[in-house]
Amino acid sequence: MTSTPILATPARFPRLMLPAAPASDPLDLDAAVTAGAFTALRIAVEQLKPEGVINALIESGMRGRGGGGRQIGEKWYSCAHAGAPVAMAAPVGGAIVGVDEFVAPARYVVVNAYGADPAVTTDRVLVENNPYAVIEGAAIAAFAVGASEVVIAVRAEATDTIQALQTAIAAAESAGYLGDNVLGSNAEIHFSVKPLQGSYMLGEETVLLKGLEGQRGQPEQQPPYTTTRGLYGKPTLIHGPQTFAAIHTILTGGLEGFPETDARTFAGTVLVQISGAVAHPGIAEVPFGVTLREVLDLAGGVPGQSRLKAVLVGGPSGGILPADAIGVGFDHDSLEKAGAQVGSGSIVVLDQHSCVVDLAAVLTRFCADEACGKTIPCRIGLRRLAEIGARISEGQPRGDEIARLTDLSVDIVGSALCDHERRATLALLSVVRYFRDELDAHLLRNSCPAGICHPKADARAGAVS
């Protein structure tokens, strides 16, 4: 089991994904059904039918939990109504066979439980603590878009997660919730779990699909969107586990007990992982829109004599916000405006002993290293951007580094093929936006207020002399 603790939250925070009280055995299907699991699937199959499910999602305005937070109803509609499947060779039993021998399912649903941010385990914690919520949501999606195959992509090293999913899928199939004749209907929905090994880029959906196909992981230009041409060229619906787990609430009207949550435009909840300079690092389920301050309070705030300096929000390609910005709401629009992102749900808290310039330089280097190299503006541009960050943090600036950094970032964002390139500029740009004093200290006075960076410059000077 993943060992990251789940933090306590106030009663006004609805628990829509993680169980309110830890189940003694999250894989116990009978207990899960008693608690309400698969009631939404039954509503979908027996009452709403595929169009009704999609209409309910469109009306709810529900947005994907991670990534760009786009509305998901249109995506489901697009996948359900995508044209005739494209004939392609596809693997059967590990071997590539010809089109004539392969009877492809018309559509796929893919659950991206890979968890691309290596420091974040929210998806694994969700799957291990409430596997039936994810499975039910994905089964509803398959029923709605007409897919007979659901593939769950998981990190190969997450053996506990894989085991939990396989056990839960087998139990749900035996009980008739999945398989050949879902809940007595004609619907056929089969699940498989696919362990993957790869990089940060697997968070991008076209890269994930290539990984599942055993191909080199590089993004594809969209359109055509994956809802039209996805896994093996077939219409494919992809979301993360949190998005699938939230479907249950939409179809069962499960927000009634939470008057503070806006049910008209379903914002719902999201899992965040708080780490760094806090008293109690861990994972929490919070309503979209709560302030960063409220989230930090869940983790006990910054301990001892330390003081809050900044928060890195959204993972390695997120933005660094200053202490006076923690009134910002944790939702896609507010964070985007502030120069950060929901991303992986990661919130790393920094105290006065951390240097934001050093952090931004390291993050930009990570993003440059992880870029797949397919497009030149990203391959070369991110490398140059990382070099600028390194020069500033090492006290070796060349000319007007801030102008160079901002101009290059504009070019990188403008020519981006995928979100990785767009987001990789956030860290350094947020330092320019919010931490100008600290940046100037590095650039103009050859000084690092946190005492982090100059040892590097001093060490190099020492080595040269």
Site residues for ligand SF4 per CB under 6 A:
218-219, 371-375, 378-379, 416-418, 420-421
What minimum distance in Å lies between the beta carbon of 411 and ligand SF4?
A: 12
Give whichever of 247 and 416 is closer to ligand SF4, judged by the CB atom. Answer: 416
What minimum distance in Å lies between the beta carbon of 99 and ligand SF4?
A: 29
Residue nearest to ligand SF4 (CB): 378
d(CA 371, CA 312) in angstroms, rounded, equals: 20
Give whichever of 124 and 374 is closer to ligand SF4, judged by the CB atom. Answer: 374
Q: Are the beta carbons of 340 and 318 closer than 8 angstroms?
A: yes
The 3-state DSSP composition of the chain as helix, strand, coil percent (nearest 5) reads 45, 15, 40
What minimum distance in Å lies between the beta carbon of 177 and ligand SF4?
A: 38
Give whichever of 175 and 380 is closer to ligand SF4, judged by the CB atom. Answer: 380
d(CA 418, CA 399) in angstroms, rounded, equals: 31
- Going by C-alpha positions, the residue among 203, 201, 250 that lies closest to residue 53 is 250
What minimum distance in Å lies between the beta carbon of 377 and ligand SF4?
A: 7
Give whichever of 277 and 418 is closer to ligand SF4, judged by the CB atom. Answer: 418
What minimum distance in Å lies between the beta carbon of 219 and ligand SF4?
A: 4
Residues 6+ apart with CB under 8 A from 101: 92
Longest dimension (CA), the chain: 80
Residue 270: CA atoms inside 13 Å, Cβ hemisphere, count? 31
Give whichever of 204 and 394 is closer to ligand SF4, judged by the CB atom. Answer: 204
What DSSP line would sit under 11-56, residue for residue? TTS--SSS-SS--S-TT-HHHHHHTTTTHHHHHIIIIIHHHHHHHH
What minimum distance in Å lies between the beta carbon of 188 and ligand SF4?
A: 36
Q: Are the beta carbons of 75 and 202 closer than 8 angstroms?
A: no
Strand locations in 133-249, DSSP E?
A: 149-155, 190-196, 236-239
Give whichever of 379 and 433 is closer to ligand SF4, judged by the CB atom. Answer: 379
